[in-house]
Structures are given as structure tokens and as C-alpha cells.
Amino acid sequence: MASVKDLRGRIRSLKNTQQITKAMKQVAAAKIRRAETAQKQARPYADALGEMLQDLIATSSRIDHPFMNPGKAGAPPGVILMTADKGLAGAFNSNVIREAERYWRQRSDARFYTVGIKARNAVRRWGLGDRPGWPLNAPSKLQTAHELAQNVTEDFTAGEIGEIVLVSSKHVSMMVQRPEMRQLVPIERETAAAPSTGPRGSVEIEPSPEFVLSKLLPKYLEFTLFSAMLETDASFYAAQLLAMNNATENAGKLIDELTIAMNNARQAAITKELLEIVSGAEALTGT
């Protein structure tokens, strides 16, 4: 049985840990509000961009853009793996990495582009060497998305990769963050030009739908990556908030259990001393 001194030290250590988890929980709660606000502010632009893309593809008779055509036959897929920079968020990062690893086991020739330090470290562990990578918490996520989109676009148009696949986290709710894999390029014409659910006005496009589409598609890829970074941010802080809340509660339960054990040990020590005193007194009286 542990001594009272040892139990007291463990309780003190747990209380210090509980203070840290409480502080991290409060930080995650504040940051997730900002992340969700940024995500909501970007949503109208994403909706308008998607509607415009649908209109242009529907009205274009011929689209001569690399994003709308199949990639080079036999070229490896380009996989954008997006995680957080830090841990302490439960299984958030490992779930996304596991999804990418499952795809890599099927396509061992895949070329990875990483966003987030955890993603970069995972690719290194797989023995794939240093690949182009960017931190998630860069000063400007929009600049990171621009650089990433430019990098993968150059590789796709040069035939170094045959498609662009994004593996990231989908923010379902505060309790659920689900890894998601989707193909970004080439864009399926049938998928992008989904029928609208309401009356649409007639729009004249100058100089031509094809010209506008050629300028819009790179922006579409760039903003899709930017939106995924915002969603990854929100998912990470939601997962971290849940993990720190569970850690705080578990620390409290352990503190209660150790406090009971310490009280029992202290009572046993007091009882033992009393028995020794009584036994000594009786021995002296008997002599």
C-alpha cells in the first residue's frame, strides 16, 4: 500500500495537471468560436462560387481546361493530407492520417502534399522522404492555400500527378469530426453541373463562358483548400475541447479516489500508532 506521502504527491501532481487541462479547455472553447465564425463568413463566397461554376459549365459547349480533362494516364495520384499542427485532441489527427494511409496502401505510388505538422511527420514515418508541406497555423491561411494550389496545379498540368485528392476532417458537430476523402481534380462535369433547384435568370457572359471558366477554376481549387483549412481548424479545436473536458473530469475522479486512499492510509497509520502506544502501556503496566 502506498504511503501517505506518496499519495499526497500524486494528488498534488494530478491537481496541477487538472489546472492545465482546464486552461486548455478554455482556450479551445475560445478558439473554436473564432474558427466557426471564420468558416461561416467564408460560406457565402463558397456558395456563390459553386453556383457560378455550375452556370458556366452548363452554358459552355467546349471546356478546354486541364481541370476538366483526365490527368496523364499512369501518373501517380497527388494526395493533399491535411491535419493540425499539434496534438492533445484525442484521435483527431490519427483518424485523418489512418484514412490517408489506407489509400496509400492501395496506391503506393501516391505523392503527398501535407498541411499540418502532424501530417508532415506521418509522411516521414512512412519513409516517403520530405515532401512539400505547409503548417496549418500559418500567419495567412489564404496565402498557404494559394501556394498549395499553385504547387499541385503545376504538377498536374505537367503530368507528374494524374489527379488531386484531398484527405481532411469534416466538422459535423462539436462531438463528431469525421475524416473525409474527395477528389478535387479532374472535376467531373456531371457533378459540377448539378441541376439547380429553382428558377434562374438568363445571364450573358463576356467575352465567353470558356474564358471566364478558365479564370474561375484555379480560384475554385484555391478556395476549396482554404475552406478545408478553416474546417480542419474548427474540427481540431472541437476535438481538443472534448478531449480536455474528458481529461479534466478523469483527473477529478482520480483525485477523489486517491484522496480516499490517502485518508484510509492515514487512518491506518494512526490506528497502528495507537495500537503500539496501547501495547507499550500494557507492557509497562504488566512489568
Per-residue pLDDT of the chain (287 residues; tens, 9 = 90+): 678 888 889 999 999 999 999 999 999 998 888 888 888 888 788 778 877 777 777 776 666 778 888 888 889 999 999 999 998 898 999 999 999 999 999 998 999 999 999 999 999 999 887 678 899 988 889 899 999 999 999 999 999 999 999 999 988 888 888 999 999 888 876 555 444 555 554 556 666 666 777 778 888 899 999 999 999 999 999 999 999 999 999 999 999 999 999 999 888 888 888 888 888 878 777 65
Instruction: For the chain, give every domain's residue range.
Output: 41-195+206-235
* CA 9 – CA 225 distance, rounded (Å): 48
Question: Are 262 and 4 within 8 A, CB to CB?
Answer: yes
The CATH architecture annotation of domain 41-195+206-235 reads 3-Layer(aba) Sandwich (3.40)
Q: What distance in Å separates the CA atoms of residue 115 and residue 15, rounded to the nearest whole number? A: 35
User: How many C-beta atoms surround the C-beta of residue 266 within 10 A?
Assistant: 14
Q: What's at 61, amino acid-wise?
A: S
Residue type, 232: T
Q: What is residue 195's predicted lDDT score, i.e. its pLDDT?
A: 47
Rg (CA), the chain: 29
Q: How far is CA 226 from CA 136, 148, 200, 234, in A?
A: 10, 10, 28, 13
Please report the DSSP string for 110-168 in residue order: -EEEEESHHHHHHHHHTT-----EE-TT-S-HHHHHHHHHHHHHHHHHTTS-SEEEEEE
Q: What does the pLDDT read at residue 156?
A: 92
**What pLDDT, on the 0 to 100 scale, is given for residue 100?**
94
* Cell numbers found for residue 163: 489527379
CB atoms within 10 A of CB 20: 14
Rounded distance, CA 119 to CA 179, Å? 13
94 alpha-carbon distance from chain centroid: 9
Predicted pLDDT at 284 = 79
> What is the distance between the alpha carbons of residues 26 and 16, in angstroms, rounded to a whole number?
16
What pLDDT does residue 206 have?
65
Chain length of the chain: 287
DSSP-assigned beta bridge partners for residue 183: 165
> Would you put residue 29 in left (φ > 0), alpha (ψ -120 to 50) or beta?
alpha
At residue 185, what are phi and psi to the nearest 5 degrees? -140, 135
